[in-house]
Structure 1
Amino acid sequence: MKGLYCQKGDQGDVKFVIQETNAPNKLGSHQVKVQVKCCALSPVDFKLYEDLKIEIENVPVGREIAGVVLQVGPKVTFFQPDDEVVGILPLDAEQSGLCSVVVTDEYNLVQKPEKVSWFEAAAVIKDGLRAFTALHTLARMAAGQTVLVLDGAAPFGVLAIQLAQYHGVKVLATASSPEDQKLLEELRPSVDVQESFLARVIRVWDSKQDLVDSCLEETGGLGVDIIIDSGVRLSEEDPEAQRYYPHKHDLLTLLSVGGHWVTTEQHLQLDPPDSHILFLKAASLSFLNDEVWTTSRAKQGRYLHILKDVMDKLCTGTFRPQLGDPVPLYEATVSMEMVQRKQARKRIAVKL
């Protein structure tokens, strides 16, 4: 069978190749064999592999899978053959999720609701995990608070908005283009409801609209309780590709007293004056790394509970993702190149 793998050259260039591979013939005590129906594509973080000292010559691509259990190990208790499952393969997995059959531990999977399609399950599982991690685990979201979701039209942003609104949180979001603005303004809690999810869509692409002023105006000058960013400008000399990212000082300014900033910027640097602002506001900062769930087994039960909750909310319509069409396996290489360069605005999933 074939799978998609990634090779990194000496010059830092990345190459994606489809190559032959084999599934293990013998299952471990807690392993299950899954026939993959659909697999979503996410960028490969080579720095994370290096930090964790995971040395793999050909890095498997495609870790969010949905499929049917074919066989279970002797001590498996969660599943039985013919169960429909969805999950995320660990970082040190040897098989690509685009293989027709994969073998993984039962602790990496949860049951897929019957009403949820293979495509939706695979495409939503990782972004749903990120939304739960950011809002529940890190920010301790509560009803009546105000949250600012930066780049709200991204796949992760849409689910974060829907999850926050479900829990009675007032939501502000930024749009980086007129198309993103239209998508956000058309988000509704359900098909028959005309009320928008969002209290305000902030047009960062429009030089006439200021992020800080808009947020302070919407909150009566008090600031927002939770900020979830999608990248931060650390200085004015940052590249043109980051022109719609907010500056870190802007986010510190609009953060409320006791507020919480959840950042995806792993190289964020705070100078002493920045830390002093956080101190004066009794505010806090957390780094969003959703891979921590699979790299540490300390809270395995909570991780599986989150995955189940993501599927439940997808099944009941709380999560209504903005997805493109599934792509065939022969287009996986080209699609993955787009994903790695972060050129895909919608989550891409491969149908097997």
Structure 2
Amino acid sequence: MVSNSFRILGRQDIQQVITKSYPALEQLICDVYRQHHQGKTINPDSYFLRFPAQMQNRIIALPAHLAESPAVSGIKWISSFPDNIRLGLQRASATLILNDGATGFPFACLEAGLISAVRTTISAVAALGYLKPGPRHINCLAIIGCGFIAKHLTESLFALGWTVGRLKLYDLDRSYATALQSVLNAGAQGQAEVVTSLAAAMDNADVIVTTTTAAQPYISDAGLLQHNPVVLNISLRDFSAELMSQANNITDDIQHCLKANTSLHLAYQQLGHHDFIQGHFGDLLSGNLQLQPDRPTIFSPFGLGVLDVAVGRYVYDEACRLNLGTVIDDFFGVQTRW
């Protein structure tokens, strides 16, 4: 791509594309995981900008490259400022820059809070399809932590054809749970109920989803998982090291997840090895996982920058086709050297 133009896509543009693209994005994400585990991507460690006077805040850079034609690189720059919630703002905000694989020139800037949420939740739902094969039905779904990601998880789940018999919501702040309940009950997916304790949420749930902002584990009672559910551990830091070591564990990339004090990282530090992790997303896709049926199964996706780049490129291509966004025709000015 040799172009002097630069396209800017805001959330409304991106939402217009994504609303019609859930099945295509699920397939895309699975394809990217295949490429990643075949060594056809470059996905360095995330880089954390932290603030000594405000340790709860951080901004993370996720650079990545997809080598498959057309080659594209990019970087997501995503902030997490938890106190934003008290101001009525989203905790996280993000942008994504896409670069042409041949020239290195950036060609687009996308609002990436939505892209990040969608790639996170669709990848979790895609994993669920392999961990719970057969009809896309959940008898009892428990969602722990009822914020922005929880909302998008339910949207992804239903958009991808899943049905739910019973849906339980739990949050330390009951107002978040009731707000999500109102959103869900206004739709056509059935009735959600708010429960008042963690135990009530997890009891008999065949699928449990954690989407909290927990900085350290708070779930340590093995009895809460004795019915061996499938757990989508999206928030990564909810379960104790002991519980993780007693479960079937799958992640998207083993080396990436063993950092930043995730539950997997804490278990690794405690045990001194990662043999308790049965495999990664690529093993799910190939059917090479050996899981013990008498244990809970926990999927902990650390989140890969290549997913943001792939989803961003898909959205960009569709936005060009639909003539969405703002195009700056002479963004780089004169490109000749002299």
Smaller-chain TM-score bracket = 0.3 to 0.5
* Relative contact order, higher structure (CA 8 A, sep 6+): 2
Q: TM-score, normalised by structure 1?
A: 0.42
Question: Could you state the TM-score of these two structures normalised by the residue count of structure 2?
Answer: 0.43
Structure showing the higher helix proportion among its residues: 2
